[in-house]
Structure 1
């Protein structure tokens, strides 16, 4: 198992690589929307499957979210806790939707959320970033999106100045031509 400073170093290297594909602020905004929609859509049907764990009834969504949450917490505890808070809200929203609508409506909402989430990612990269998504070159970046978004939020709120330099916009070259 990696030592805590090794994990922090690994996370910062991964973040630096990820940010190269996400420099445009509009692409970043599209990723915020897309990640929220994709997570909510993905867990929506999983919230309907319940079973007891140590005497407590839990949903399949919670159980399947735990390994990736543990990974995020290992990469960076502060960012991981921020994601945990967001995850609780999104799981609650998905659970409320699943409990209030018919199965047909739930699957319809699932398709819409996933479709809009994927579309926002594609538009962000094609229109605003003008390059292919990082996941094409680095499939592990699939798990870095939420970390990137939460790190950007923490920096915007005045926290995590240690990550600000990594996520700072690339310097513009005034001599370049378009």
Structure 2
């Protein structure tokens, strides 16, 4: 884990102390990722002799970034991204254009609302990305780090997250 990632994660945790805010982020991040890749999944493309979609190609830079921040978390996010990209491919294969755009709009509204409600209602603080736009890319890393900790892995992450989450809103 890079020192840059440690600092960014520690800063991100300060905006995500309330357990309900963290739970809302799990759904919000998944819905927003799916909303972002859904329309791009409609455009097939051949890359390196492999048939794929613009969505898969568009995720490569951010996946590389996550791998560079932390290889294990990046690998886990890659697995989640494959599942979500596969779900998007299935959806676009079954839905017409209006249905796909309607679902995209619903996912954006629900995903964004869960983020806003999580911060406004449970955290009583504005979203982290308002103060530091790079936090937009740290959300998936934070969610995956929390999952690793719950499963008993990555004590180094637990130290950063649990130590920083000790605040007035961290009680369950």
TM-score by length of 2: 0.95
Determine the structure 2 residue equivalent to 1:152: 146
Determine the structure 2 residue equivalent to 1:51: 45
Q: Does 2:166 correspond to 1:170?
A: yes
TM-score by length of 1: 0.91
Report the count of equivalent residues.
167
Indicate how the Cα distance of structure 1 residues 57 and 29 shifts in structure 2: closer, same or farther if over 3 A, else same: same
Determine the structure 2 residue equivalent to 1:10: 4
**Structure 2: which 5+ residue stretches go unaligned?**
none
Structure 1 runs of 4+ with >6 Å offset: none
Higher relative contact order (CA 8 A, sep 6+): 2
Alpha-carbon distance in structure 2 between the residues aligned to 1:140 and 1:51: 29
Alpha-carbon distance in structure 2 between the residues aligned to 1:68 and 1:11: 14
In the TM superposition, residue 114 of structure 1 has moved relative to its aligned partner by 0.7
Determine the structure 2 residue equivalent to 1:61: 55
Alpha-carbon distance in structure 1 between the residues aligned to 2:48 and 2:8: 36
- CA RMSD of the aligned region, Å? 1.2
Alpha-carbon distance in structure 2 between the residues aligned to 1:172 and 1:105: 44
Between structure 1 and structure 2, the one with the greater Rg is: 1
Alpha-carbon distance in structure 1 between the residues aligned to 2:10 and 2:160: 6
Alpha-carbon distance in structure 1 between the residues aligned to 2:168 and 2:29: 28
In the alignment, which of 123, 131, 140 is matched to residue 137 of structure 1? 131
In the TM superposition, residue 67 of structure 1 has moved relative to its aligned partner by 0.2
